[in-house]
Amino acid sequence: MEIRTAAAGRGWEWIVEGFRIFRKQPLTWIALVMVMVVIWLVSLALPLFGPLAIHLLSPVFFAGLMLACKTTDEDGEPEFAQLFAAFKTHASPLITVGGIYLVGNIVAVGIVFAVAGGTALPALLGKAGTDIETMRVAVRGLLLGMVVGMAVFIPVLMAVWFAPLLIVFHNRPPVEAMKMSYTASLRNTLPLLVYGVAALVLGIIASIPLMLGLIVLLPVLVCSIYASYKDIFPAAAVAPVPASETPNP
């Protein structure tokens, strides 16, 4: 499958394209994303099992949102059932991606605290003395740990970014989908960086009026990921593979 390298400016244009898709069915998209937010909040409120479950299942829900994006982009009307559609067709490979992402998160966090040292967090919380030198050492250790942790986490994020779409639209096995996603992200570092900075700035602006702007921004960003996928993978306009044709992971 061809993987296209986009110009840096395309990062902003993906957001513009995401808004174009969102604008076709704005109320439905706001409702879809709000349902996803509620699912997230309820899952995180459940002790231990909830956060683990939502990390594993997030790629399945995300794939459902991408199915809704495709429907909207093709001038159809997205349905709430699409949010759960990938559970019937590609649950196993998508949960595999979620499991790898979960492990990557755990490893990255573990590295942060291992590099920062066991006294960094207590010092920053004021539990290990209040002298300036202790605080300075704690901050340095934590910053170094975060840098090293991000160096581990970012490749994992690159590997899962497009993986759910490659699975649900192209029937790729999970490991192959993650390799392709990593390659695509690596080839498009500049536009993805522009995209990330633009999304961060828009997120700050949208949060100013009591976070009300996020009601529109979140679905626009979801649609923008589908727009970036279509741009980077020219053969993206394909139908989801039936469950009977889905390979084992």
Q: Considering only CA atoms, which of 223, 220, 227, 229 is closest in space to residue 168?
A: 229
- H-assigned helices in 80-213: 86-89, 91-116, 120-124, 132-161, 163-170, 174-187, 189-207
Query: Which amino acid, residue 79?
Result: E
CB 43 within 8 A of CB 50: yes
Confidence of residue 210 (pLDDT cuts 50, 70, 90): confident
Q: What are 139-169's pLDDT values in tens digits?
A: 777 777 778 888 888 999 999 999 999 999 9
Chain centroid to Cα 81, Å, comes to 21
CA distance 239 to 90: 13
The answer to whether residue 206 scores a pLDDT higher than 70 is: yes
Share of the chain above pLDDT 70, in %: 85
Q: What are 70-112's pLDDT values in tens digits?
A: 999 999 999 999 999 999 999 999 999 999 999 988 888 888 7
3-state class of 249 per DSSP? coil
Cα angle 51, 54, 55 (rounded to 5 degrees) comes to 85
Confidence of residue 191 (pLDDT cuts 50, 70, 90): very high
Arithmetic mean of pLDDT, 211-215:
88
